[in-house]
Structure 1
């Protein structure tokens, strides 16, 4: 039982601390800087929307106002079976730089991407979502990294605006996540992009399979399989409102994590060591996190068993675990506690992440075909 306890503890420790330290070491000893240069390749922006009539006007205005040569950037909006006035609102914007594609039935984002890709002939395709606001300089920042021929895709940075206790906890986790992406990028490649803002070379893009939840992982991983780098561009910013409560954030997170299970199901070679150039990073950043909730359960159960013998070490570790879980539950029950005290904020975010990861497996097993996203309204996020 002691072996079980320490193996579980090692797995959790490596997942959240050991892997980031490994990436930091690689970034320091084997840094791979990107050769940046000002450049303006032609860009096709691709935006897939379902029932986003109240958002689409502002989003299109945001995209068309980007600081990029007007004759080198075109916006392509796809209405995915919209039942509201999304298409009419988009066509009302008009102009030669906007193309609207409308599909009567809803089939999901990846199917829409696959349909529209043959119509895109620019050097880069920039993917974005309807809700987030893009900084005016984001397109230039992304384009600059493609001066390096080794770069196949580049992700921007999602900035969460959090003003509640729970939202600040998620923001703390997101800062940790972005630090990890910086380290991965500095030492080689990240393993996925930010769906709110990423770009890829059109020549390297192949249509993603219909029904894929995480196109922002499938597309970069397919490009990386050809030997190209996927990098993180912190100067390319997209802004979004952080979740104001645990329920809405965990629903979103469960769907994303279920998408990881789908990736393993659809592309099982991603789990085989050495079968993909980013296999080690996939294990360290993604697959071990899927296993972490079950390792935590094993850690708690084995610790409780060992503590029965009265060993001071195991009594102390059990006490620490109990205190951390009580603090996390307190943060969930009282968001003000999370807002006022950093340990409560971090424990709450950690519990939320692992609870979502455990439930995501059950979600995917119940419905492996749940690939249709629901648009999150601004009202739901506090705007």
Structure 2
């Protein structure tokens, strides 16, 4: 029995180490030792900017004004606004904005972002699609830099970099630390081949590589890149294409969004089972390491804790693991009780790790209980 428990301890420890350290280190080394350059070049094909909006009256004018600042030939841009059952003035404000490039598709029934994207792309005339959200501000060169990646015939999609600003709480600093870690992984994936996801706030792809999304799809910014990769094209990360958004300041503000996003990974597997197959998914190892194992991580942590506690008096390694877990928990408690400590890097990392796994556990349970996810 002790041998079985110790084997479970080692399995949990190794899988956790691979998920949070081994895999990031592996793609980082690949990017340094065997980089795959991108043949970027200036080009200006027609671009359809697609913006799916629900109740965006407070933001739509600022977003359209921001899109007018893009350093790209104006005549090569069309802007398609899809109002998904908006009951506010979003559609009227967009129509009256005064930019002839703006087209508004208005639907009285709320159907979700995926259906909005499908309808917008069906009417798009651009060779390139730029997906963005209403909340984030884009850098003037963002579109130009993304499109430059598509001059490489091996590149099918390019994602921009989302910068999170206005960290005023310890939790916000923790979210920022986690996001920097995540972007480092994405950049390494891109430099060594393809990243498995992009930021929904800003990404571009070739029009002919978009296929209609299943109704209710939550993570278009993962499914679309995975389909691009399955078609034999690279998905790259462009750090010069910037978008800005504000950080959330407290866990409750982040909880709903994060649980929905993490549960979206479960939904992807349900909708597209080919993602689980090494024979049909060319990015299978990256998808499993970067997405699926993170959903299992809280349960691996639970298994590690229980097995370490049972064997702490028999195996030094188990005792050390239990001490490390206890120190991590203490840092989380200190970060919550003494907010000023929230900016100290060890506390930031511990708090980010704790909430990431807490939300992952809740997401898996939520999806198991109720397979339908909120449209927005």
TM-score class, shorter: over 0.9
Which secondary structure does the structure 2 equivalent of 1:66 belong to? Answer: coil
Contact 1:67 1:139 in 2 (8 A): yes
Aligned 1:228-247 pairs, distance under 5 A:
228-247=233-252
CA deviation string 1:333-374 (max 9, x = no partner): 4433212x211111000000011111001111222222311x
Q: CA 1:222 to 1:313, structure 2 compared with 1: closer, same or farther past 3 Å?
A: closer
**Residue in 2 aligned with 1:168?**
173
Q: How does 1:185-200 map to 2 (within 5 A)?
A: 185-200=190-205
Per-residue deviation at 1:21?
Answer: 1.2
Q: CA RMSD in A?
A: 1.2
Q: In the alignment, does 2:14 pair up with 1:19?
A: no
Aligned to 1:46: 50
* 1:380 corresponding residue in structure 2: none
Q: Tell me the distance in 2 between the aligned counterparts of 1:154 and 1:228.
A: 11
Tell me how far 1:312 sits from its aligned partner: 4.0
2:2 counterpart of 1:2: no
**Following TM superposition, by how much is the alpha carbon of 1:7 offset from its aligned partner in structure 2, in angstroms?**
1.1
Q: Which runs of 5+ in 2 are unaligned?
A: none
Query: Alignment partner of 1:232: what SS?
Result: strand
Counterpart selection for 1:88 from 89, 92, 103: 92
Q: Match of 1:123?
A: 127
- Identify if the C-alpha distance between structure 1 residues 256 and 312 changes in structure 2 by more than 3 Å, giving closer, same or farther: same
Of 216, 232, 247, which residue of structure 2 is paired with 1:227?
A: 232
CA deviations over 1:249-302 (Å, ceiling 9, x no partner)? 122111100000000111122122232111111011111111111100000000
- Give the aligned partner of residue 272 of structure 2: 267
Task: State the TM-score, normalizing by the size of structure 2.
Answer: 0.96
CA distance in 2, matches of 1:332, 1:256: 24
Q: Give yes or no for contact 1:56–1:90 (8 Å, CA) kept in 2.
A: yes
Equivalent position of 2:303 in the other structure: 298
Shift of 1:40: 1.1
User: Which of residues 90, 94, 100 in structure 1 aligns to 2:104?
Assistant: 100
Distance 2:69 2:223 in 1: 29
Which 5+ residue runs of structure 1 have no aligned equivalent? 374-383
Residue in structure 1 matched with residue 367 of structure 2 by the alignment: 364
Matched residue of 2:183: which SS?
Answer: helix
Aligned pairs, number: 371
What CA distance in whole angstroms lies between the structure 1 residues aligned with 2:353 and 2:298? 10
SS in 1 for 2:185: helix
On the 8 A contact 1:261/1:364 being kept in 2, the answer is yes
- 1:252 matches 2:257: yes
Structure 2 residue aligned with 1:278: 283
Q: Which residue of 2 aligns with 1:320?
A: 324
The answer to whether the Cα contact below 8 Å between 1:64 and 1:75 also exists between their aligned partners in 2 is no
Large movers: runs of 4+ above 3 Å:
332-335
The alpha carbon displacement at 1:89 in A equals 1.4
Question: What secondary structure, in the 3-state scheme, does the structure 2 residue paired with 1:93 have?
Answer: coil
- Pick one of 129, 133, 136 that aligns with 2:137: 133
Deviations 1:22-75 (A, max 9, x none): 112221232110001111111100000000100111011101221111100111
